Amino acid sequence: MLSFVPQEMKDPAPYHLLTSIVAPRPIAWVSTISASGISNLAPYSFFNAVAGFPPTIMFSVAYRRHEPKEKDTLRNIQEIDQFVCHVVDETLAQAMAQTGSEFPYGVSEFEMANLKAIPSVDVRPLGIEGSPVAMECKVTQTVRVEGTNNVMVLGRVLRFHVREDLYRQDVGLVDTVRMQPITRLGGPVEYTKIGERFEMATPKV
């Protein structure tokens, strides 16, 4: 086995190694809004579910190396503590990538990526028309991740929106394979599509 010690590696080598190991990662396509009503969209793959009830998710925002250090998403949630988290399917992949570009604060990525914004029900940030699943969320915590350059944002899901053909009524699940989410692998350009579903029960002891 090769062995690597992060402290002995040059930044960003540990990031590359880590993101290719903790993979594939789902992508949170996060919509926020400023107090003055300017919308923002950005993808985050340091993203996961952290609690089932009430359903709670997290994503982690890094500070930029250059000014302004604070990403627009973080700035917005400090003004309006809400966000909408979308799933990126194969049809939306290119648009999602465009919204990962560092547009200046005040520029709406909805316009830059030609996405239609739709009003949400319980929160102020807008939804993305055509996204297969959206989760309207209220921020419950922002956690400065000790010793790092990241802030973890935790949010409680107030409302799920699921495209009708994706909902498996009998089991209360989304048909994830049919949804065709794209997920992220290592480094800045690698992604993957979903594979095959198989079933396996946890043995009872």
- Supply the minimum distance, in Å, between the C-beta of residue 136 and ligand FMN: 18
Q: What residue is closest to ligand FMN based on CB?
A: 100
- Supply the minimum distance, in Å, between the C-beta of residue 160 and ligand FMN: 22
- Supply the minimum distance, in Å, between the C-beta of residue 133 and ligand FMN: 17
Residue matched to tokens 């102020």: 124
Q: Which is nearer to ligand FMN, 71 or 86 (CB)?
A: 71
Task: Report the candidate in 174, 191, 171 with the shortest Cα–Cα distance to residue 182.
Answer: 191
Q: Which is nearer to ligand FMN, 3 or 94 (CB)?
A: 94
Q: Using CB under 6 A as the criterion, which residues of the chain lie in contact with ligand FMN when the complex forms?
A: 27, 40, 42-46, 60-62, 71-73, 97, 100, 102, 184
> How would DSSP label each residue in 132-150?
SEEEEEEEEEEEE-TTSSE
Q: Which is nearer to ligand FMN, 45 or 120 (CB)?
A: 45
Task: Report the candidate in 79, 103, 85 with the shortest Cα–Cα distance to residue 30.
Answer: 85
E strand map for the chain:
28-33, 39-44, 47-51, 56-62, 82-86, 117-118, 127-128, 133-144, 150-162, 167-168, 173-174, 182-184, 191-193
- Supply the minimum distance, in Å, between the C-beta of residue 203 and ligand FMN: 35
CB contact set of 25 (below 8 Å; sequence gap of 6+)? 19, 45, 46, 47, 183, 184, 185
- Supply the minimum distance, in Å, between the C-beta of residue 78 and ligand FMN: 12
Task: Report the candidate in 128, 123, 144 with the shortest Cα–Cα distance to residue 60.
Answer: 144
Q: Which is nearer to ligand FMN, 62 or 167 (CB)?
A: 62
Q: Which is nearer to ligand FMN, 149 or 173 (CB)?
A: 149
